[in-house]
């Protein structure tokens, strides 16, 4: 005996009765006794199925979908060729606890020519026996559940791998896209529970049941519904990017179930939380969960708005102060009380170069660099390099000359005062000073004092400088790894500095 088809044929009255206990229908889902409902308008119990991983659908909206996966495309086209209904269900995580549901897999010989499953009397009895065996084998199933799960790849699809609740949808229209892909307009209709998997190839076909939503019309239900609307209104008032049309559309929803589905679809954070909404059939519990999610998102939105407002006020204050300073500078410049800082800095460098008494060659070079400095923007890195170069030139003692003391007796007295002994070294120093006294135009002589640490080399140099009346500068080459530290860096480097010799001349001057 075959199962009722999806095209609206009446069910076979000879089918074996099911032992399942149908849930009690509340007033929300009940149909008037004399109302006539066409069977073709009701989703059938056997449907092609699409297994979802990355999204959770909710009943109500009409959505367009692009069918890239061949299996999903075949399932939708098969549904369109029949009554148009198909089943959307999410996949559970491996190792998650799910209720054990009987599964019947049909052989290829039991698949009709139209691609739909054909159930015989034996198949129906097998399904009933499997349902009855659940209670007897509950202990065995519990022990088996504690064992490590087998890998998902390579094993058959089981109902335990699926979410306990899915969505029955109906294909309204299909379209062929320019890139040969198929698109469909789908109406998400109502919740359904997977009961058994009838086949898996070329696409899953499942038997589903339609659960009844538990509605308790009491004070708690009314209070939760009212509070949910109040919190949603507060949320949309705080959400500056939400349109007025969306706000009015949401607040005009009277059905509590549709309102909770909206919260789950738009405010829930992840797939696991959305699945909690989808699988919860008690509307009061779903309202409470929706209220918790709405309050949580409202608090986060208020905190985010407060942080954004603080940052906005800080930025506006900084910008306002900057604009006021610029306006003040412009007013002072107009009155002649203040000049452009860039122009003022260049004028200061010009004055320093003029007072430095540069040589002819140094003056030519400094004038060239000064012209370049005037044309280069202050934001350019080269501007700082040229400015540092000119300031270094202006700080060198180009025209400062010290007068040497040629008094040999005074030099001898200073050497004897500062050092005891070292007569041979003192005599050699006095000889150099005597030659300098006889020939004042002679060039300076370099003295090399060699010896272990602590014998007085540095202090002798200080004594020579004091006896001649000159400034003394000392630097140690110990630890230097680059000759550029002594000679100076090339100007091509950002942050180039003069060497230790020029720094000593600037310090001594």
Mapping DSSP onto H, E and C, the string for 382-419 reads: HHHHHHHHHHHHHHCCCCCCCCCCCCHHHHHHHHHHHC
Q: Are 199 and 105 in contact (CB under 8 A)?
A: yes
For 137-178, how does the pLDDT look when each residue is reduced to its tens digit (9 = 90+)?
A: 444 444 444 444 433 333 478 888 888 999 999 999 888 888
With a cut of 60, say whether residue 251 has pLDDT above it: yes
Question: What pLDDT is stored for residue 393 in this prediction?
Answer: 83
Size of the chain in residues: 509
- Most confident listed range (200-209, 351-360, 417-426): 200-209
Question: What pLDDT is stored for residue 340 in this prediction?
Answer: 67
Q: Are 30 and 145 in contact (CB under 8 A)?
A: no
For residue 347, the Cα-to-chain-centroid distance in whole angstroms is 49
Report the distance separating Cα 153 and Cα 305, nearest Å.
46
Q: Are 184 and 69 in contact (CB under 8 A)?
A: no
Does domain 39-209 fall under CATH 1.10.760.10? My reply is: no
Question: What pLDDT is stored for residue 338 in this prediction?
Answer: 62
With a cut of 60, say whether residue 404 has pLDDT above it: yes
Q: Are 194 and 167 in contact (CB under 8 A)?
A: no
For 408-453, how does the pLDDT look when each residue is reduced to its tens digit (9 = 90+)?
A: 788 888 887 877 877 887 888 887 888 877 877 777 777 788 888 8
With a cut of 90, say whether residue 24 has pLDDT above it: no
Portion of the chain with pLDDT greater than 70, in percent: 78
With a cut of 80, say whether residue 53 has pLDDT above it: yes
Question: What pLDDT is stored for residue 102 in this prediction?
Answer: 38
Burial of residue 184, with CB atoms counted within 10 A of its CB: 0-12 exposed, 13-18 middle, 19 or more buried = buried
Count the Cβ atoms, other than its own, within 10 Å of residue 291.
21
The number of CA neighbours under 13 Å toward the Cβ of 96 is 14
Question: Regarding predicted confidence, which is higher, 18 or 342?
Answer: 342
Q: Looking at 32-41, 210-219, 490-499, which range is the least confident one?
A: 32-41
For 265-279, how does the pLDDT look when each residue is reduced to its tens digit (9 = 90+)?
A: 888 888 888 888 888
- Most confident listed range (38-47, 302-311, 354-363, 412-421): 302-311
- Mean per-residue pLDDT, 284-288: 91
Report the distance separating Cα 281 and Cα 255, nearest Å.
15
Question: What pLDDT is stored for residue 91 in this prediction?
Answer: 85
- Scored b (16 or more CB within 10 A) or e, 360-386 reads eebbeebeebbeebeebeeeeeebbbb
Question: What pLDDT is stored for residue 12 in this prediction?
Answer: 42
Question: What pLDDT is stored for residue 39 in this prediction?
Answer: 40
Q: Are 123 and 110 in contact (CB under 8 A)?
A: yes
What DSSP character marks residue 139? H
For 447-497, how does the pLDDT look when each residue is reduced to its tens digit (9 = 90+)?
A: 788 888 888 788 888 888 887 777 777 777 777 777 777 777 777 776 677
Superfamily for 404-470? P-loop containing nucleotide triphosphate hydrolases (3.40.50.300)
The number of CA neighbours under 13 Å toward the Cβ of 266 is 16
Closest C-alpha to 78, from 10, 9, 6: 6
- Mean per-residue pLDDT, 10-33: 40
Report the distance separating Cα 199 and Cα 48, nearest Å.
9
Question: What pLDDT is stored for residue 93 in this prediction?
Answer: 54
Report the distance separating Cα 70 and Cα 202, nearest Å.
9
Give the start-to-end residue ranges of the domains of the chain. Answer: 39-209, 219-307, 339-402+493-509, 404-470
- Mean per-residue pLDDT, 216-227: 88
Phi, psi of 436 (to 5 degrees): -65, -30
Report the distance separating Cα 293 and Cα 117, nearest Å.
42
Burial of residue 75, with CB atoms counted within 10 A of its CB: 0-12 exposed, 13-18 middle, 19 or more buried = buried
For 78-106, how does the pLDDT look when each residue is reduced to its tens digit (9 = 90+)?
A: 888 888 899 999 887 533 443 433 333 33
- Mean per-residue pLDDT, 11-20: 40
One CATH from 1.20.58.2050, 3.40.50.620, 1.20.58.1480, 1.10.10.10 for 219-307: 1.20.58.1480
**Tokens standing for residue 477:** 């080459």
Q: Are 170 and 85 in contact (CB under 8 A)?
A: yes
Q: Are 339 and 380 in contact (CB under 8 A)?
A: no
Q: Are 39 and 157 in contact (CB under 8 A)?
A: no
pTM of the model as a whole:
0.48
**Tokens standing for residue 474:** 């000392």
Closest C-alpha to 129, from 196, 202, 48, 39: 196
Q: Are 14 and 55 in contact (CB under 8 A)?
A: no
- Mean per-residue pLDDT, 497-503: 79
| pLDDT band for position 509 (cuts 50, 70, 90) | low
């Amino acid at each position: 005996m075959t199962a009722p088809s999806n095209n609206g044929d009446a069910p076979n009255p000879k089918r074996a009765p099911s032992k399942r206990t149908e849930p009690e229908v509340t007033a929300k889902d009940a149909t008037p006794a004399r109302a006539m409902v066409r069977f073709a308008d009701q989703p059938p119990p056997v449907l092609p199925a699409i297994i979802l991983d990355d999204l959770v659908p909710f009943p109500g909206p009409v959505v367009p979908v692009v069918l890239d996966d061949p299996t999903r495309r075949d399932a939708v086209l098969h549904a369109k060729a029949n009554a148009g209904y198909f089943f959307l269900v999410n996949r559970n995580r491996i190792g998650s606890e799910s209720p054990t549901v009987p599964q019947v897999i049909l052989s290829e010989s039991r698949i009709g020519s139209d691609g739909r499953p054909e159930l015989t009397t034996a198949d129906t009895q097998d399904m009933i026996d499997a349902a009855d065996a659940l209670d007897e084998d509950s202990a065995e199933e519990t022990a088996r559940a504690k064992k490590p799960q087998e890998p998902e790849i390579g094993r058959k699809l089981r109902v335990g791998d699926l979410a306990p609740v899915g969505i029955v949808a109906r294909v309204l229209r299909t379209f062929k896209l320019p890139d040969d892909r198929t698109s469909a307009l789908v109406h998400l209709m109502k919740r359904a529970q997977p009961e058994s998997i009838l086949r898996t190839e070329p696409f899953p076909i499942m038997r589903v049941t339609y659960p009844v939503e538990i509605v308790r019309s009491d004070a708690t239900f009314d209070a939760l519904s009212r509070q949910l609307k109040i919190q949603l209104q507060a949320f949309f008032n705080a959400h500056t990017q939400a349109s007025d049309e969306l706000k009015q559309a949401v607040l005009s929803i009277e059905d509590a179930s549709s309102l909770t589905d909206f919260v789950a679809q738009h405010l829930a954070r992840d797939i696991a939380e959305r699945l909690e909404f989808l699988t919860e059939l008690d509307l009061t519990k779903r309202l409470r969960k929706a209220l918790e999610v709405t309050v949580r998102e409202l608090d986060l939105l208020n905190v985010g708005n407060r942080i954004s407002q603080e940052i906005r006020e800080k930025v506006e204050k900084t910008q306002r102060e900057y604009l006021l300073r610029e306006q003040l500078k412009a007013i002072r410049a107009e009155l002649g009380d203040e000049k452009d800082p860039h122009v003022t800095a260049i004028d200061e460098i010009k004055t320093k170069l003029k007072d430095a008494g540069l040589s002819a060659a140094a003056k030519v070079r400094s004038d060239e660099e000064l012209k370049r400095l005037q044309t280069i923007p202050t934001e350019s890195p080269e501007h700082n390099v040229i400015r540092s170069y000119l300031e270094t030139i202006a700080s060198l003692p180009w025209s400062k000359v010290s007068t040497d003391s040629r008094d040999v007796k005074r030099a001898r007295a200073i050497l004897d005062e500062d050092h005891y002994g070292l007569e041979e070294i003192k005599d050699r120093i006095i000889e150099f000073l005597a030659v300098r006294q006889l020939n004042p135009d002679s060039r300076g002589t370099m003295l090399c004092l060699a010896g272990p640490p602590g014998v007085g080399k540095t202090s002798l140099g200080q004594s020579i400088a004091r006896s001649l009346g000159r400034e003394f500068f000392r630097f140690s080459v110990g630890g230097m790894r680059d000759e550029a530290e002594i000679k100076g860096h090339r100007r091509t480097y950002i942050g180039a500095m003069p060497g230790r010799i020029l720094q000593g001349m600037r310090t001594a001057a």
